[in-house]
Amino acid sequence: MNLWPLRTRTSPKVPETVKQDRLELLQEIKKAHLDWVTAQKHFDFVLEKEQIDYAVYALEAAEKRYEMLLRQAKRLGVTSEVFTKRAKEVSGP
């Protein structure tokens, strides 16, 4: 007589909508990183005071957005091989 049924551990299935949300978050992170790099390059070429002010504002906004999206991905446990490899390259051996 089996009083306690044998339970097998199975990974919970992730609904398609969650997978789609995670994919969209990764795409937003990639776009935010591109925007941040673009803002950095723009900052390197500005000359006038008004341009400098705008470039600093745009750079800070892009950086904050990128950081916010990375924190959100970390909180949700979203990972990507591309980002993992890049993080290892930056941090070194």
- Of residues 63 and 23, more confidence is placed in 63
**pLDDT single digits (tens) 38-69:** 999 999 999 999 999 999 999 999 999 999 99
Give this prediction's pTM: 0.68
78/73 Cα distance (integer angstroms): 5
pLDDT of residue 81: 63
CA distances (Å), 58 to each of 13, 51, 75, 80, in order? Answer: 40, 10, 26, 27
Q: How many residues does the chain have?
A: 93
Q: Is the pLDDT of residue 2 over 80?
A: no
Residue found by looking up tokens 């299935």 in the block: 13
Listed by start position, the domains of the chain span 33-91
Average pLDDT, the chain: 82
Contact at 8 Å (CB) between 36 and 62? yes
CB neighbour list of residue 80: distance below 8 Å, 6 or more residues apart: 26
